[in-house]
Amino acid sequence: MNRHTISVLVENKFGVLARVAGLFSGRGYNIESLSVNTTEDPRCSRMTIVTTGDERIIEQIDKQVSKLVDVIKVTNLTSGRFIERELLLLKVKATSANRSQIVELVEIFEGKIVCVGGGEIGIELSGRDEKIGDFIELMKPFGILEMARTGRAAISKDPSKGK
Amino acid sequence: MNRHTISVLVENKFGVLARVAGLFSGRGYNIESLSVNTTEDPRCSRMTIVTTGDERIIEQIDKQVSKLVDVIKVTNLTSGRFIERELLLLKVKATSANRSQIVELVEIFEGKIVCVGGGEIGIELSGRDEKIGDFIELMKPFGILEMARTGRAAISKDPSKGK
């Protein structure tokens, strides 16, 4: 059971997310995280899906997603060199006594303070999922009030072939 | 037709994304971007959905999503003060002649260079969607080779009640 990051370029048409998510759910494939947003071409969107499974399952996902209507291209980024990042917004309890501790941790992780007030601090942090996970663990003792974590964005590190 | 950011806390159960995406698609509601990932509680995931529609449609979405199995809470963040960010990874063509121009723009936007090589530069940037959009426009003339943009992460700026 390995974790795979799959990038799916789709036509920006109605219902395409429901079809892809439905295929994963219908076949019993796990979705650990998912992001979908527009690309530089307004006709296309890109989904980045993190899933787990052995080689056979990943091959099946690749084949079956490729066959769906409005799917242009499926790339298993995990098979080459790639860069992936996600973004975290988190609100944590802060008192005058522990605020500087929190700020110090945010600086170490190269995060940003996005709001302060009413005994709360809002933090923005980007990075690989492991870094994000480590930061969340460090914030737990202060009292996490709210958090939202995007799915992954991922691009290949290998030279682009054409476009 | 206003843009709304809706935060949906769900139980981390199989098929919940397919149910939510299916409801949007079945009822004809638009999804502009979507992110789903785990929360600090491993039993829960949070989806952040950006959708467009008038007040009546947004009310309907709120009601109908709330009724779905495994949906714990639906919050329309747009009705209060909130912070939202997304993350962009982008690979652009670079020559020795224009590399410094690109690097300068990345610095202005407080982005990070994540890889350089083979006539390409990989860039990471986080911010509000408008900032991300502006940066993409500025990169287009250089030749965008690949890009992936997460959906939104969003948290309320209003004081947290309880938890």
Q: What is the pLDDT of residues B41-55, one digit of tens each?
A: 989 999 999 999 999
Note the pLDDT tens digit of each residue in B103-140.
999 999 999 999 999 899 999 999 999 999 999 999 99
Residues on chain B touching A74 (C-beta within 8 angstroms): none
Q: Flag if A21 and B18 touch (Cβ within 8 Å).
A: yes
Domain boundary among A79, A94, A113: A79
> For residue range B83-96, what is the model confidence (pLDDT) as tens digits?
999 999 999 999 99
Is residue B75 located within the same domain as residue B110? no
Domain of residue A110, residue span? 83-153
Residue A153 contacts B, CB cutoff 8 Å: yes
Closest to A87 in 3D by CA, of A152, A139, A5, A143 = A152
Residue B86: which of A24, A150, A163 has the nearest Cβ? Answer: A150
**A27 in the same domain as A51:** yes
A92 membership: H or E segment, kind and range:
strand A82-93
Q: Which of A25, A37, A86 sits opposite B18 (nearest CB)?
A: A25
Using CA atoms of A88, A155, B6, A136 in order, give the dihedral in degrees to the nearest 10.
-20
Task: Note whether residue A162 is domain-resident.
Answer: no
What ipTM was assigned to the predicted interfaces of this complex? 0.91
Extract the runs of DSSP E, i.e. beta strands, from B28-152: 33-38, 44-53, 71-76, 82-93, 112-117, 120-127, 144-149
Residues B87 and B43 in one domain: no
Query: Which of B50, B79, B108 lies at the terminal end of a domain, its last residue?
Result: B79
φ, ψ (nearest 5 deg) of residue B97? -75, -35
pLDDT for position B147: 94
Q: Which amino acid is at B96?
A: S
- Tens digit of each residue's pLDDT, chain A (163 residues): 689 999 999 999 889 999 999 999 999 998 999 999 999 898 999 999 999 999 999 999 999 999 999 999 999 999 899 999 999 999 999 999 999 999 999 999 999 999 999 899 999 999 999 999 999 999 999 999 999 999 999 999 887 754 4
The predicted pLDDT at position B161 comes to 58
Q: Say if B94 falls within a structural domain.
A: yes
Q: How many A×B Cβ pairs under 8 Å? A: 196
Given B79, B112, B129, the domain boundary residue is: B79
d(CA A70, nearest CA chain B) in Å? 14
Q: What is the pTM of this model?
A: 0.92
